């Protein structure tokens, strides 16, 4: 999907409904008031006057009251111990948006795991991958991180804007595909190797709920993952390691510190493809991957460069909030 980055040199973050309504000068301070707070209302403005008007209920930008059915759908959020936001997207230059892509198209995924005492994020990308593939990858990586954190028995709510992913899980499509040998009733199952991983992961969790939100929903988690995957695509360069980052921790007081994952990321059964040159578009590869799940170069110095590049992304993101 194509998503907008929210960037400005100076912003005032207005929290109308949250832990402590008011106006905040940084995104980190604003997040402390809205992360995990059900029904939070907030918005950024270029001037303090506009922000004050929003907080006082005088702004024309006031969000509409939620419909009854949305309120019911959102109710599980208040009961979950952990809320997970996932998103995937690509900058598609092919002839079918979200489907057929060129090998030179940038694609990325991101997740945010909001726990009572800390928040963890992760993001990386691929060349020439579809939007749907990235949506699945975001969920795979988030569930893997939760497993590493020994949270498989916690009450977890996964929030996503991908009906492709949620319908497969919630409407029983996944069970049908598995019963037919990982095929659809009318033929090949796209992304079968990823759905097999999802199937194994879901079996490990005891209290997992899913909630659909409209794309670009104005909640902190959706904004975060949207921006992270765009930052990744901004940093992707042909013939360079793809930025990859897992484990950024935001403490309870909003202090940001970079951290590595405690184990290797999930391995995806898909063959590696060479990173494309700018002038050689080709259809997306369907062969199976190497041990490095994205087909990235895996020498130690290139991994170090990748981690460093992603840390620059996180720092740039926080500075521009």
pLDDT in tens, 119-173: 999 999 999 999 999 999 999 999 999 999 999 999 999 999 999 999 999 999 9
Report yes or no: 121 and 112 within 8 Å, Cβ to Cβ. Answer: yes
Report yes or no: 6 and 44 within 8 Å, Cβ to Cβ. Answer: yes
pLDDT at 69: 33
Q: Pick the closest to residue 46 from 3, 4, 9, 5 (CA basis).
A: 9
Report yes or no: 92 and 105 within 8 Å, Cβ to Cβ. Answer: yes
Structure tokens that stand for 226 in this block: 């949207």
Q: Alpha helices, DSSP H only, in the chain?
A: 27-34, 48-55, 68-74, 131-148, 163-170, 173-179, 192-202, 220-235, 300-319
CA atoms of 134 and 87, how far apart (whole Å):
7
Q: Give the chain's domains with CATH numbers.
A: 12-56 (3.40.970.10), 82-92+104-250 (3.30.420.10)
CA atoms of 91 and 230, how far apart (whole Å):
9
CA atoms of 83 and 157, how far apart (whole Å):
5
Report yes or no: 134 and 76 within 8 Å, Cβ to Cβ. Answer: no
Q: Pick the closest to residue 162 from 183, 182, 178, 140 (CA basis).
A: 140
Residues 6 or more apart from 135 whose CB is under 8 A from it? Answer: 86, 87, 88, 109, 160, 162, 164, 165
pLDDT tens digits along 258-293: 334 334 445 464 544 444 444 334 444 433 333 344
CA atoms of 156 and 253, how far apart (whole Å):
22
User: Dihedral (C-alpha) 68, 73, 78, 80: value to the nearest 10 degrees?
Assistant: 170
Q: Pick the closest to residue 310 from 262, 260, 275 (CA basis).
A: 260
**Which residues in the chain come in under a pLDDT of 70?**
1-9, 35-39, 58-78, 94-100, 216-217, 246-321
Report yes or no: 103 and 280 within 8 Å, Cβ to Cβ. Answer: yes
CA atoms of 279 and 312, how far apart (whole Å):
28
String of DSSP letters for 143-211: HHHHHHTT-TTSEEEEEES-HHHHHHHHTSHHHHHHHTTSEETTEE-TTHHHHHHHHHHHTT-SEEEEE
Matching residue, tokens 């590049």 = 309
CA atoms of 36 and 155, how far apart (whole Å):
14
């Amino acid at each position: 999907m194509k998503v907008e980055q929210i960037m400005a040199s100076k912003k005032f973050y207005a929290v109308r409904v949250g832990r402590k309504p008011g106006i905040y000068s940084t995104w980190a301070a604003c997040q402390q008031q809205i992360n995990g707070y059900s029904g939070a209302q907030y918005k950024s403005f270029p001037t303090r006057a506009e922000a004050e008007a929003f907080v006082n209920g005088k702004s024309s930008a006031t969000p509409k009251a939620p419909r009854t059915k949305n309120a019911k759908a959102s109710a599980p959020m208040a009961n979950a111990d952990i809320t997970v936001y996932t998103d995937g997207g690509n900058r598609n230059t092919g002839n079918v948006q979200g489907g057929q892509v060129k090998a030179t198209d940038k694609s990325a995924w991101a997740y945010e795991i909001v726990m009572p005492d800390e928040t963890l994020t992760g993001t990386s990308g691929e060349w020439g991958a579809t939007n749907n593939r990235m949506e699945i990858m975001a969920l795979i990586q988030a569930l893997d991180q939760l497993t590493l954190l020994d949270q498989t028995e916690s009450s977890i709510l996964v929030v996503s804007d991908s009906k492709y992913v949620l319908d497969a899980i919630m409407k029983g499509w996944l069970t049908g595909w598995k019963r037919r040998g990982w095929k659809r009733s009318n033929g090949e199952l796209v992304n079968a190797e990823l759905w097999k991983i999802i199937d194994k992961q879901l079996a490990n969790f005891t209290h997992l709920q899913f909630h659909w939100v409209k794309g670009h929903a104005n909640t902190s988690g959706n904004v975060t993952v949207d921006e992270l995957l765009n930052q990744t695509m901004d940093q992707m360069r042909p013939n360079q390691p793809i930025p990859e980052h897992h484990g950024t921790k935001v403490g309870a007081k909003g202090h940001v510190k970079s951290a590595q994952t405690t184990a290797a990321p999930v391995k995806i059964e898909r063959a590696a493809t060479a990173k494309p040159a700018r002038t050689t578009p080709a259809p997306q590869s369907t062969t199976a991957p190497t041990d490095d799940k994205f087909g990235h170069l895996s020498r130690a110095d290139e991994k170090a460069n990748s981690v460093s590049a992603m840390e620059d992304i996180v720092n740039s993101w926080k500075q521009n909030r």
